[in-house]
Structure 1
Amino acid sequence: MAILDAGPYFHGTRADLQVGDLLTAGFRSNYDDSVVMNHIYFTAWPKGAGLAAEMAKGDGRGRVYIVEPMGACEDDPNVTDKKFPGNPTRSYRSREPLRIVGELETWEPFDPEYIRQLRERVRVGMGEIIN
Structure 2
Amino acid sequence: MTEPLDEGPFFHGTKADLHVGDLLTPGFRSNYRPEVVMNHIYFTALPDGAGLAAELAPGDAAPRVYIVEPIGEFENDPNVTDKKFPGNPTRSYRSSAPLRVTGETDAWTRLTPEALQQWHERLAVLRADERGEIIN
TM-score of the aligned structures, taking structure 1 as reference length: 0.90
Runs (4+) of structure 1 exceeding 3 A deviation are none
Residues 1-131 of structure 1 mapped to structure 2, 5 A cutoff: 3-129=4-130
- Using the alignment, how far apart are the partners of 1:12 and 1:104 within structure 2? 10
Q: Tell me how far apart the structure 1 counterparts of residues 117 and 27 of structure 2 sit (CA, whole Å).
A: 27
State the shift of 1:109 in Å: 1.6
- Contact 1:31–1:57 (8 Å) recurs in 2: no
Distance 2:129 2:7 in 1: 38
- Quote the offset at 1:128 in angstroms: 3.5
Q: Which stretch shows the higher mean deviation, 19-28 or 106-115?
A: 106-115
1:114 and 1:19 mapped to 2: Cα distance?
31
Distance in 2 between the 1:14 and 1:7 partners? 22
Could you tell me how far apart the structure 1 residues matched to 2:101 and 2:89 are? Answer: 24
Shifted more, 88-97 versus 111-120: the winner is 111-120
Unpaired runs of 5+ residues, structure 2, are: 131-136
In the comparison of the two structures, how many residue pairs are matched? 129
Q: CA deviation at 1:120?
A: 1.2
Distance 1:15 1:31, change over 3 A: farther
In the TM superposition, what whole-angstrom CA distance separates every residue of 1:78-98 from its partner, at most 9, and x where no partner exists?
111222211111110000100
Cα-Cα RMSD: 1.6
Q: Deviations over 1:92-111 (max 9, x none)?
A: 00001000000013421233
Q: Distance in 1 between matches of 2:67 and 2:20?
A: 9
Name the amino acid aligned to 1:116: Q
The percentage of aligned residue pairs carrying the same residue is 65
TM (normalized to structure 2)?
0.87
